[in-house]
């Protein structure tokens, strides 16, 4: 009986039809990885109703925005009320989804909601990322510095630093540290500080930093990391 009810529920759910070009953003939070959830539909941003909103949905948003892991689902316009249309309600995301647009939604029920029910998220705000690699555990290293991302100089980075990077990204152990823009030249600002990890830190921002200009780095020296994960 329970399985039949679940089947009926899933049949009643409809795939989000907001189009393949859906974008997601978080607004009015205290950092780039928290805030009211908004999705883009036909050039207009709208909110998500918190009916049915849960941690599985939050996890997908955090994953899509490269914001680490889900910390908390927020309800009742916790970060403030939106002003556009309410585009989604009763969102149902499975663990395998990587984008909110791929989740099921009873979007027709969004008309029953108001902006006092706008959904929000809080993510762990991961402080680093690997970009332009062949998989998520390889690529050019960029570190979050305030509200922006910065590139890291290969001359100011070593194997112990790579240990921390791979651990924080849940990517196993470091396989190789590469210089000379192995994954292409970044367009972010170059970081002028030297990372001095011991190798046992949980996050790169736990490592001591040494302000140094001695390396005189450019994007020709962007560091790349390949992790075993």
Distance CA 85, CA 82 (A): 8
pLDDT, position 200: 92
pLDDT, position 146: 67
Whether 2-123 shares its CATH topology with 128-227 is answered yes
Flag whether pLDDT at 17 surpasses 60.
no
pLDDT in tens, 102-157: 999 987 888 889 999 999 999 987 788 898 998 889 999 998 876 678 889 888 89
End-to-end CA distance of the chain: 41
pLDDT, position 75: 97
Q: For the chain, give every domain's residue range.
A: 2-123, 128-227
Pairing relationship of beta strands 189-190 and 148-151 according to DSSP bridges: parallel
pLDDT, position 32: 80
pLDDT, position 46: 94
Query: Vertex 216, ends 213 and 222: CA angle to 5°?
Result: 115
CATH of the domain spanning 2-123: 3.10.250.10
Average pLDDT on 67-85 reads 91
Residue 121 tokens read as 């998220």
pTM beyond cutoff 0.85: no
Helix, strand, coil share (%) of the chain residues, nearest 5 = 25, 30, 45
15-29, 33-47, 167-181: range with lowest mean pLDDT: 15-29
Pairing relationship of beta strands 148-151 and 174-178 according to DSSP bridges: unpaired
pLDDT in tens, 40-70: 988 899 999 999 999 999 999 998 888 878 8
Task: Spell out where the chain has E strands.
Answer: 14-15, 24-28, 34-41, 44-48, 70-74, 86-88, 104-105, 120-123, 128-132, 138-145, 148-151, 174-178, 189-190, 193-195, 209-211, 224-227
Q: Are 144 and 180 in contact (CB under 8 A)?
A: no
11 in helix, strand or coil? helix
Pick the CATH number of 128-227 from 3.30.950.10, 3.10.250.10, 3.30.70.890, 3.40.50.720: 3.10.250.10
Average pLDDT on 26-51 reads 91
Of residues 75 and 11, which shows the higher confidence score? 75
Q: Are 136 and 171 in contact (CB under 8 A)?
A: yes
């Amino acid at each position: 009986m329970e399985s039949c009810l679940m089947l009926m529920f899933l049949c009643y759910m409809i795939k989000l039809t907001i189009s393949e070009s859906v974008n997601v953003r978080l607004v009015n939070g205290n950092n780039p990885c928290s805030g009211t959830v908004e999705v883009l539909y036909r050039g207009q941003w709208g909110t998500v109703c918190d009916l049915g909103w849960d941690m599985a949905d939050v996890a997908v948003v955090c994953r899509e925005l490269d914001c680490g892991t889900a910390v908390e689902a927020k309800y009742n316009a916790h970060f403030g009320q939106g002003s556009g249309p309410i585009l989604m309600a009763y969102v149902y995301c499975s663990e395998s989804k990587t984008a909110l647009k791929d989740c099921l939604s009873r979007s027709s029920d969004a008309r029953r909601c108001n902006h006092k029910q706008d959904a929000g998220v809080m993510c762990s705000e991961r402080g680093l990322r690997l970009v332009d690699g062949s998989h998520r555990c390889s690529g050019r290293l960029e570190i979050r510095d305030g509200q922006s991302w910065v590139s890291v100089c290969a001359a100011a980075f070593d194997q112990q630093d790579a240990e921390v990077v791979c651990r924080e990204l849940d990517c196993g152990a470091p396989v190789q540290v590469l210089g000379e823009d192995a994954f292409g030249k970044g367009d972010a600002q170059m970081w002028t500080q030297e990372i001095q990890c011991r190798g046992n830190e949980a996050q790169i921002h736990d490592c001591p930093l040494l302000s140094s200009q001695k390396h005189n780095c450019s994007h020709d020296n962007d560091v790349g990391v390949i992790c075993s994960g």
